[in-house]
């Protein structure tokens, strides 16, 4: 039984707002979270779509997020804006920091937004695409809880530490990628466990540091970084830039919220915005157009651009609404009353 | 016969300067190149050490570099300095752009140096370490000639597109990495060919797009990116940021210099500098110290930090000088008269 239900984006939005508000989120937080999960659902990124509302509700119940926290915006320097999320969800902080970030990037050419002390559960591409839709290049990174061993090690230390990038394309969808620096997302291993399947031996180690194909042993052990020591170095860079650089914690100092209310999920996020118009002046349009040669050549040899599938799904959802498992829909409905 | 010779750093410097000046490089270019290859030789990065002088000489002979070009520094914006290398070697441009870059980063918190129209042959870590030695975080990237296929493709399009990062560590050597986004450096495949050895099947494809273990077929085909589609996405990002963003060319629009003098090796480089002191004010020292917890935990589980071996080699070379193959030494000597 994999019954599905299709609802309009409008109904999905209304459902999300009701779930969040009924479970304690303030209006502004509910709206910011809804914009994010709705964008993911629209693009058929199911693991970051409406499904995440269940996590938002549980995290609130377990004291892992302040549902009414008001972000504090700090104008740190000509190229730096900081937002203290005060243990609220990161998404409202991003929305409030976005305007000064864009203003600074348009002034200086390159600027950074540092979000501190936030509960973070979302995909990063909506944030870098919020910048590319303004003609800027966006780069975003954030640590996560310590699930991943550094290359050459055997113990979880690094987060799955995703990085996202978006490049504005004249007259088209942006060039965007958003990926974890672990071989796969942790959810993939959880899904294999649930389905009783083995995992490839290059995904993780057991708690003795041996390669394993058993998802349960992998979850109790340590995940691996993608691309060996190079992925491990990138992951470390992300942990440093979205941690100590911005005065925030390291991944292993955080934990998911839990029923004992001992989890401290709060951490940082770094977003960099770059203005081609400032770098290149009047020639920016010409050079952005020139970048299309690269994309044409990638597509011309039969390769795909990252996010292509997502943009196709977006087209479809905007016309026909979004489809989700009936069981998930019912679960979300039950959270509204 | 693998006879070696050990010479002092002073003698290595003098040899490098003589080679470059005897082959047409101006004093300032010869000095900037020498500082770079000497640093690499000192750290036992042999492929970027004195060996590269042969390439510098050949490139000059083949019209692939203007040995007397005077870089032009342009104060583009509060966060952006540009340097037009005017077809000279990138290293003097970096040295001339470094001071305004540092000044801007110390003012705005984050700033960028764009080098255009340069001949680039060098490792990137000396440049990011020039920033971390000033208490800044450095990130550098540059394209190279089109040797690498995008993930899912079969034809060379992307450069080996290296990225480097350096983080200042209180009282110690920095945390630095510098790697190509191809699985391996192109030189590795050339060395296998020379030695008559096969290569692992995940390094490259032949010109029909099939995996190959034959280094000659690999060199005629396309190299692969590290980490599959994630490495390919990073490589594309590097090509965009160090290309069209800064008004420069894409990797496939460049070629190594050649005897027919038809090669156009000139391209761009992007260096980003970030100031922890601006991001964190007085708390910067505390948070840089806190980052040490991450390094301690990496080392504590038996993993290594990138560049560790290089720093150990540095210690050794500073005491005992540098060792190189006698044949290379003789070849360099022959280039001095």
Diameter over CA atoms, chain B: 58
Nearest residue of B to residue A151, measured between CA atoms? B303
Best CA proximity match to B89, nearest among B62, B63, B51, B56: B56
Give the pair of three-digit tokens for residue B250. Answer: 């894409």
Residue B85 has pLDDT above 70, yes or no: yes
Cβ pair A290:B151 closer than 8 A: no
Place of tokens 């490839």: A200
Residue B274 has pLDDT above 90, yes or no: yes
Residue A209 has pLDDT above 80, yes or no: yes
The CATH number, out of the four listed (3.40.225.10, 3.40.50.2300, 3.30.1370.60, 3.90.550.10), of the domain defined by the range A4-182+225-280+320-334:
3.30.1370.60
Give the number of other CB atoms < 10 A from CB of residue B283: 13
Nearest residue of B to residue A307, measured between CA atoms? B233
Cα–Cα distance measured from residue A306 to residue A291, given in angstroms and rounded to the nearest whole number: 16
pLDDT in tens, B224-243: 999 999 999 999 999 999 99
Cα dihedral B322→B326→B327→B329 (10° resolution)? 50
Q: What is the DSSP string of B125-156?
A: HHHHHHHHTTT-EEEEE---SS-BPPTT--S-
pLDDT in tens, B89-138: 999 999 999 999 999 999 999 999 999 999 999 999 999 999 999 999 99
Best CA proximity match to A278, nearest among B245, B84, B99, B117: B245
Cα–Cα distance measured from residue B271 to residue B274, given in angstroms and rounded to the nearest whole number: 10
Q: What is the pLDDT of residue B191?
A: 84
Which of these is catalytic: B16, B29, B31, B48?
B48
| Domain over B4-182+225-281+319-334 is classified CATH 3.30.1370.60 | yes
pLDDT in tens, B187-204: 889 889 989 999 999 999
Domain chopping of chain B, boundaries? 4-182+225-281+319-334, 183-224
Residue B1 has pLDDT above 70, yes or no: no
- ∠A201-A207-A211 over CA atoms, to 5°? 15
Alpha helices in B23-110 (DSSP H): 27-42, 52-61, 90-108
Confidence of residue A1 (pLDDT cuts 50, 70, 90): low
- Residues with Cβ within 8 Å of residue A281, at least 6 apart in sequence: none
pLDDT in tens, A139-198: 999 999 999 999 999 999 999 999 999 999 998 899 999 999 999 988 889 889 989 999
- ∠A270-A273-A278 over CA atoms, to 5°? 155
Residue B33 has pLDDT above 80, yes or no: yes
Cβ pair B240:A293 closer than 8 A: no
Span B183-224: which CATH code?
3.30.60.50
Which of these is catalytic: A4, A8, A22, A47?
A47
Region for A161 from its dihedrals, namely left if φ exceeds 0, alpha if ψ lies in -120 to 50, beta otherwise: left
Q: What is the pLDDT of residue B280?
A: 96
ipTM of the complex: 0.97
Residue B240 near residue A175, CB atoms below 8 Å: yes
Q: Which residues pair with A270 in a beta bridge?
A: A114, A141
Residue A265 has pLDDT above 70, yes or no: yes
Place of tokens 């396309």: B222
Cα–Cα distance measured from residue B13 to residue A266, given in angstroms and rounded to the nearest whole number: 51
Place of tokens 């305004």: B100
Alpha helices in A1-116 (DSSP H): 9-22, 27-42, 52-61, 90-108
Mutate to test the interface with A, among B288, B303, B306, B310 (most CBs of A within 10 A): B303
Give the pair of three-digit tokens for residue B176. Answer: 């630095």
Give the number of other CB atoms < 10 A from CB of residue A133: 13
Give the number of other CB atoms < 10 A from CB of residue A154: 18
Region for B86 from its dihedrals, namely left if φ exceeds 0, alpha if ψ lies in -120 to 50, beta otherwise: left
Q: Which residues pair with B117 in a beta bridge?
A: none
CA B271 to chain centre: 12
Treating both helix axes as pointing N-terminal to C-terminal, what angle do A52-61 and A326-334 enclose, rounded to 10 degrees? 30
Cα–Cα distance measured from residue A162 to residue A141, given in angstroms and rounded to the nearest whole number: 6
Active site residue A47: yes
Cβ pair B157:A239 closer than 8 A: no
pLDDT in tens, A49-58: 999 999 999 9
Confidence of residue B159 (pLDDT cuts 50, 70, 90): very high
Residue A307 near residue A138, CB atoms below 8 Å: no
Cα dihedral A188→A193→A197→A200 (10° resolution)? 50
Q: What is the pLDDT of residue A191?
A: 84
Contact residues on chain B for A240, CB-CB shorter than 8 A: 137, 167, 175, 291, 294
pLDDT in tens, A78-101: 999 999 999 999 999 999 999 999
Contact residues on chain A for B167, CB-CB shorter than 8 A: 237, 240
Q: What is the pLDDT of residue B188?
A: 87
Active site residue A48: yes
Q: Is the torsion defined by CA of B38, B39, B45, B47 positive or negative?
A: negative
| Cβ burial, residue B193 (10 Å; 0-12/13-18/19+) | middle
Residue A85 near residue A102, CB atoms below 8 Å: no
Mutate to test the interface with B, among A303, A304, A308 (most CBs of B within 10 A): A303
pLDDT in tens, A266-291: 999 999 999 999 999 999 999 999 99
pLDDT mean over A124-137: 98
Give rounded-to-5 percent helix, strand, coil for chain A: 45, 20, 35
Mutate to test the interface with B, among A103, A245, A291 (most CBs of B within 10 A): A245
Residue B238 near residue A278, CB atoms below 8 Å: no
CA distances (Å), B206 to each of A213, A278, B1, B161, B226, in order?
Answer: 32, 42, 33, 20, 17
């Amino acid at each position: 039984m994999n019954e599905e239900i299709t609802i309009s984006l409008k109904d999905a939005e209304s459902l999300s707002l009701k779930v969040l508000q009924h479970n304690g989120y303030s209006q502004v937080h509910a709206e910011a979270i809804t914009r994010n999960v709705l964008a993911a659902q629209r693009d058929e990124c199911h693991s970051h779509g409406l499904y995440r509302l269940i996590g938002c509700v549980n995290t609130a119940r377990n004291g892992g997020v302040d549902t009414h926290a008001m972000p504090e915006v700090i104008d740190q320097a000509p190229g730096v804006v900081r937002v203290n999320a005060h243990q609220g969800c990161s998404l409202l902080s991003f929305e409030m920091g976005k305007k000064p970030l864009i203003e600074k990037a348009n002034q200086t050419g390159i600027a950074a937004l540092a979000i501190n002390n936030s509960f973070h559960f979302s995909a990063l591409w909506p944030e870098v695409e919020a910048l590319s839709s303004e003609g800027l290049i966006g780069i975003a990174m954030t640590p996560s809880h310590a699930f991943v061993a550094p290359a050459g090690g055997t113990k979880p230390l690094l987060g799955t530490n995703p990085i996202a990038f978006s490049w504005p394309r004249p007259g088209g969808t942006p060039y965007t990628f958003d990926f974890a620096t672990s071989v796969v997302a942790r959810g993939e291993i959880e899904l294999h466990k649930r389905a009783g399947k083995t995992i490839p031996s290059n995904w993780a180690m057991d708690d003795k540091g041996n390669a394993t194909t058993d998802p349960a042993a992998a979850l109790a052990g340590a995940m691996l970084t993608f691309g060996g020591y190079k992925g491990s170095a990138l992951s470390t860079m992300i942990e440093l830039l979205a941690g100590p650089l911005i005065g925030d914690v390291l991944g292993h100092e955080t934990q998911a919220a839990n029923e004992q209310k001992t989890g401290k999920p709060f951490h940082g996020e770094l977003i960099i915005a770059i203005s081609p118009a400032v770098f290149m002046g009047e020639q920016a349009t010409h050079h952005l157009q020139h970048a299309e040669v690269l994309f044409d050549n990638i597509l011309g040899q039969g390769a795909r651009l990252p996010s292509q599938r997502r943009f196709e799904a977006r087209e479809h959802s905007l016309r026909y609404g979004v489809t989700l498992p009936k069981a998930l829909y019912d679960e979300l409905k039950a959270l509204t009353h």
